[in-house]
């Protein structure tokens, strides 16, 4: 029996349920010091002086002058210092590093440090920013013509807040001086991002830097780019002290200092005919990038490409900007711009239905992408375009229409959202990335060598299933090498729903070649006869994919996943609290390699989106996250998460391994607009999230309730 489609045991499952799995804070090294980061207490200004106020004895102290190479966190642009030099651009910007054997002494020392600043006026308003990190325009057809065809024009402004990833294991690393270089062990998603950042920061050659992933307690994008920063800090301290240094954040520091989901303001103007056909779509997207660029341009890119939602329209103009403010930099978070823009798209869709007095399902049916339609970037959609299928499945599974009627005039509401999500890097990203994966023949099976990290989503398990079935060997015979840059090739980052579809596909090709090479021999015979066999393959995309980064035209993604969520809510008339009572989540993901893991991604992403929609509010006061505690930043508990009815539909994508597309991110795109649309069905005109009771209290009535 093959492994694909079967719920084989997770590779590291036993270690996780027995507490044997080693996370970074579980490790110690001989002579290890503990590190601490001293951060700015202002949002904008210049550092004028640093006064330690304690004896240096026993401490290693480092600032920007101790950086052996270039003082930057190398990512897209080298604009972010690893340690502030003179300028401070956000609260909690790292300035000074301390290390000591005793953690308690670090806290005492921190309390004695005084830093003098000359403050300048900070800007927290993206509308008033004077620095744009990236501007993108997507144009299709002629907008003026589209509006001329319209009977009705619907406009709206939608707002989304920050969101904290809130992995339960905070960011942490250990840097160990080794062989004239540095080895970093850490909780991270992208070992080769950290590898490059350390090479630049320390001025070391490739082989002097080694990055090893420890078991990682959640990432959600929050451990995509930030580990390059914390690894840099630990490495600087280790370099200077010549001793291993552990730097593990506590929850408050993690929330105050690390990246969040970009907040945004999204404005729509849509032309529609009376019978609901969209003739023109004009969208303006403004994202708040925070103080440094991080991955903001790429977040914006995914955001604008998904901004129309899964709807066809001949005349589209999308204008997007991501700008600087004096808040801690925002960065990667599951969905990566798409949850923001599709929130706006789907709430706007609901408002169009209200304006036309049209059934919201009918309106979506009319405009949803079909195979052969083109997206805003001109991408012609393939046979695996399942927008209508997921819509119909969700509507019938949830009994949407009957409930919508039955709930009218009660304290119950029901809403839906239709959405899509591109798998893999945007545009030419995968070609540029040229990821590699290796497969090694072993006496009993095969060993996978990839830099794709297991962060809870099931990388090891799902990759092993793909290899097992391609080689036609039992799943148990496939081993997965630990992620260590000294041993595994650069498979690209573990992000963008690419680990299965893109890296899994490269592994499938490796396994196919091993089969050919074996030519019917057993592994043991082959190894005895011919010696070791390791096959390494590089990404090679489907033929005919085209992308122009200048004009933003072409095939934005190899494939899209498709989803539809229906959410039922209950309103407490006395407290304006909204409780989701049931969520139906339908996703078309090509092929479910491991149904339990795939459902886990959908359920988990859905719950995270419930928090995004209703509970999770980052309160920024004077540029600082004022509620950086789990007591005040509320994520969903068991009692806040309703039953989730998951339906996985399959529509194999010919270039994915066994037909699989991405699944990790898409589930977070739909629940927030579906929840807000359910609230709208109660007659409350809500257009921003989180829709806290305080906001709902202020909400005006919907003008034309459906």
The yes or no reply on residue 483 touching other proteins (CB under 8 A) is no
Least distance (Å) from other proteins to the CB of residue 569? 13
Least distance (Å) from other proteins to the CB of residue 83? 25
The yes or no reply on residue 584 touching other proteins (CB under 8 A) is no
The yes or no reply on residue 1 touching other proteins (CB under 8 A) is no
Q: Smaller CB distance to other proteins: residue 194 or 625?
A: 625
Among 440, 603, 665, 669, which residue interacts with other proteins (rule: CB under 8 A)?
A: 603
Binding to other proteins (CB under 8 A) within 244-303 occurs at 250-252
The yes or no reply on residue 694 touching other proteins (CB under 8 A) is yes
Binding to other proteins (CB under 8 A) within 142-171 occurs at 165-170
DSSP string, 429-496: HHHHH--EEEEEE-SSSEEEE-----SSS-HHHHHHHHHHHHHT--GGGEEE---BTTTS-----S-T
Contact (Cβ atoms closer than 8 angstroms) between residue 312 and residue 272: no
Least distance (Å) from other proteins to the CB of residue 699? 12
Among 66, 634, 688, 705, which residue interacts with other proteins (rule: CB under 8 A)?
A: 634
How far apart CA 270 and CA 346 sit, in angstroms, is: 12
Q: Smaller CB distance to other proteins: residue 253 or 513?
A: 253
- Mask for 554-573, x = binds other proteins (CB under 8 A): -------------------x
The yes or no reply on residue 408 touching other proteins (CB under 8 A) is no
Among 455, 467, 586, 666, which residue interacts with other proteins (rule: CB under 8 A)?
A: 455
The yes or no reply on residue 31 touching other proteins (CB under 8 A) is no
The yes or no reply on residue 105 touching other proteins (CB under 8 A) is no
The yes or no reply on residue 17 touching other proteins (CB under 8 A) is yes
> Nearest-5° angle of CA 406, CA 278, CA 609?
55
Binding to other proteins (CB under 8 A) within 190-219 occurs at 215-219
Least distance (Å) from other proteins to the CB of residue 620? 11
The yes or no reply on residue 596 touching other proteins (CB under 8 A) is yes
**Nearest of 100, 31, 95 to residue 59 by alpha carbon:** 100
The yes or no reply on residue 16 touching other proteins (CB under 8 A) is yes
The yes or no reply on residue 18 touching other proteins (CB under 8 A) is yes
The yes or no reply on residue 577 touching other proteins (CB under 8 A) is yes
Least distance (Å) from other proteins to the CB of residue 221? 12
**421 beta partners:** 561
How far apart CA 318 and CA 344 sit, in angstroms, is: 13
Helix (H) or strand (E) run with residue 38 in it: strand 33-39
The yes or no reply on residue 635 touching other proteins (CB under 8 A) is yes
Q: Smaller CB distance to other proteins: residue 110 or 650?
A: 110
* Neighbour order of strands in the sheet with 436-441: 478-480, 446-449, 436-441, 534-538
Binding to other proteins (CB under 8 A) within 214-233 occurs at 215-220
Residue 434 burial (C-beta neighbours within 10 Å; 0-12, 13-18, 19+): exposed
DSSP letter assigned to residue 608: H
Count residues binding other proteins (CB under 8 A).
75
Q: Smaller CB distance to other proteins: residue 605 or 706?
A: 605
**Tokens representing 87?**
């300028």
Q: Smaller CB distance to other proteins: residue 529 or 574?
A: 574
Among 462, 599, 663, 689, which residue interacts with other proteins (rule: CB under 8 A)?
A: 599
Among 287, 589, 644, 699, which residue interacts with other proteins (rule: CB under 8 A)?
A: 644
Contact (Cβ atoms closer than 8 angstroms) between residue 644 and residue 597: no
The yes or no reply on residue 647 touching other proteins (CB under 8 A) is no
Query: Residue 427 — left, alpha, or beta (φ > 0 → left; ψ -120 to 50 → alpha)?
Result: left
- Mask for 32-51, x = binds other proteins (CB under 8 A): --------------------
**Tokens representing 648?**
């996985």
The yes or no reply on residue 638 touching other proteins (CB under 8 A) is yes
Helix (H) or strand (E) run with residue 684 in it: none
In this chain, which stretch among 149-157, 347-355, 550-558, 635-643 interacts with other proteins, using CB under 8 A?
Answer: 635-643
Phi then psi dihedrals of residue 699, to 5 deg: -70, 135
Q: Smaller CB distance to other proteins: residue 469 or 616?
A: 616
In this chain, which stretch among 123-131, 273-281, 546-554, 594-602 interacts with other proteins, using CB under 8 A?
Answer: 594-602
The yes or no reply on residue 108 touching other proteins (CB under 8 A) is no
Among 22, 51, 87, 524, which residue interacts with other proteins (rule: CB under 8 A)?
A: 22
Contact (Cβ atoms closer than 8 angstroms) between residue 557 and residue 428: no
Query: Residue 529 — left, alpha, or beta (φ > 0 → left; ψ -120 to 50 → alpha)?
Result: alpha
Helix (H) or strand (E) run with residue 103 in it: helix 103-112
Least distance (Å) from other proteins to the CB of residue 402? 25
Least distance (Å) from other proteins to the CB of residue 619? 6
Strands (DSSP E) found in 179-302:
181-186, 209-213, 245-248, 264-272, 278-290
The yes or no reply on residue 458 touching other proteins (CB under 8 A) is yes
How far apart CA 677 and CA 404 sit, in angstroms, is: 11
Among 359, 640, 650, 685, which residue interacts with other proteins (rule: CB under 8 A)?
A: 640
How far apart CA 630 and CA 96 sit, in angstroms, is: 26
The yes or no reply on residue 482 touching other proteins (CB under 8 A) is no
Residue 697 burial (C-beta neighbours within 10 Å; 0-12, 13-18, 19+): exposed
Contact (Cβ atoms closer than 8 angstroms) between residue 12 and residue 215: yes
Q: Smaller CB distance to other proteins: residue 253 or 484?
A: 253
Among 152, 534, 626, 647, which residue interacts with other proteins (rule: CB under 8 A)?
A: 626
**Tokens representing 530?**
């011919």
Output helix, strand, coil percentages for the chain, rounded to the nearest 5: 30, 25, 40
How far apart CA 26 and CA 144 sit, in angstroms, is: 61
Q: Smaller CB distance to other proteins: residue 180 or 573?
A: 573
């Amino acid at each position: 029996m093959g492994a694909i489609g079967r719920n084989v045991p997770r590779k590291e499952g036993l270690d996780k349920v027995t507490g044997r799995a080693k996370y970074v804070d579980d490790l110690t090294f001989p002579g290890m010091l503990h590190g601490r980061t001293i951060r700015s207490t202002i949002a904008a200004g210049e550092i004028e002086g640093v006064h330690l106020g304690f004896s240096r004895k026993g401490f290693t102290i480092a600032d920007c002058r101790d950086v052996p190479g270039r003082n930057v966190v190398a990512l897209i642009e080298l604009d972010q210092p690893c340690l502030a030099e003179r300028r401070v651009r956000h609260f909690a910007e790292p300035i000074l590093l301390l290390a000591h054997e005793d953690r308690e002494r670090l806290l005492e020392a921190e309390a004695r440090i005084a830093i003098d600043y000359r403050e300048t006026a900070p800007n927290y308003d993206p509308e008033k920013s004077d620095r744009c990190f990236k501007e993108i325009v997507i144009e299709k057809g002629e907008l003026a013509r589209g509006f001329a065809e319209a009977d009705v024009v619907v406009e709206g402004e939608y707002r989304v807040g920050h969101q904290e990833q809130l992995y339960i294991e905070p960011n942490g690393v250990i840097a160990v001086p080794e062989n004239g270089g540095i080895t970093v062990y850490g909780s991270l998603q992208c070992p080769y991002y950290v590898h490059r950042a350390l090479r630049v920061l320390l001025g070391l050659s490739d082989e002097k830097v080694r990055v090893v992933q420890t078991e990682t307690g959640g990432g959600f994008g929050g451990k995509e780019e930030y580990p390059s920063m914390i690894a840099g800090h630990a490495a600087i301290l280790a370099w200077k002290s010549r001793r291993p240094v552990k730097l593990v954040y506590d929850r408050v520091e993690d929330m105050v200092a690390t990246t969040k989901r970009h907040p945004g303001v999204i404005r729509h103007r849509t032309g529609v005919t009376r019978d609901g056909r969209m003739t023109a779509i004009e969208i303006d997207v403004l994202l708040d990038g925070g103080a440094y660029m991080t991955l903001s341009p790429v977040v914006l890119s995914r955001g604008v490409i998904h901004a129309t939602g899964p709807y066809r329209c001949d005349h589209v103009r999308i204008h997007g900007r991501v700008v600087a403010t004096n808040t801690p930099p925002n960065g990667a978070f599951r969905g990566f711009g798409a949850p923001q823009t599709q929130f706006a798209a789907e709430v706007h869709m609901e408002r169009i239905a209200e304006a036309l007095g049209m059934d919201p399902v009918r309106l979506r049916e009319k405009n949803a992408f079909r195979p052969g339609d083109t997206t805003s970037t001109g991408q012609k959609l393939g046979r695996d375009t399942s927008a209508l299928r997921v819509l119909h499945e969700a509507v019938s599974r949830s009994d949407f229409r009957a409930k919508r009627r039955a709930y009218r005039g009660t304290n119950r509401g029901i809403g839906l959202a239709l959405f899509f999500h591109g798998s893999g890097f945007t545009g030419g990203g995968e070609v540029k990335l040229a990821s590699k994966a290796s497969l090694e023949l072993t006496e009993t099976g095969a060993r996978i060598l990839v830099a794709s990290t297991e962060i809870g989503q099931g990388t090891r398990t799902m990759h092993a299933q793909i290899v097992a079935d391609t080689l036609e060997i039992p799943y148990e015979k496939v081993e997965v090498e630990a992620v260590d840059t000294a041993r595994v090739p650069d498979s690209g980052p573990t992000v963008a729903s690419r680990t299965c579809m893109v890296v899994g596909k490269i592994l499938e090709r490796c396994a196919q070649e091993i089969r050919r090479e074996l030519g019917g021999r057993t592994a043991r015979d082959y190894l005895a006869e011919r010696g070791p066999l390791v096959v390494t393959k590089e990404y090679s995309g489907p033929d005919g994919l085209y992308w122009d980064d200048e004009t933003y035209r072409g095939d934005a993604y190899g494939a899209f996943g498709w989803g539809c969520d229906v959410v039922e809510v209950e309103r407490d008339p006395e407290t304006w609290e909204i409780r989701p009572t049931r969520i139906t989540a339908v996703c078309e993901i090509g092929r479910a390699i491991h149904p339990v893991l795939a459902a886990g991604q959908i359920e988990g992403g859905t719950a995270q989106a419930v928090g995004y929609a209703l509970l999770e509010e980052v309160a920024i006061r004077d540029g600082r996250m004022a509620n950086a505690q789990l007591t005040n930043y509320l994520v969903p508990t068991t009692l806040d998460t309703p039953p989730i009815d998951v339906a996985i539909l399959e529509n194999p994508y010919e270039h994915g391994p066994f037909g699989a597309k991405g699944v990790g991110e898409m589930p977070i795109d739909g629940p927030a607009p579906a929840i807000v649309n359910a609230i709208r069905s109660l007659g409350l005109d809500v257009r921003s999230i989180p829709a806290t009771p305080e906001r709902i209290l202020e909400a005006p009535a919907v003008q034309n309730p459906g």
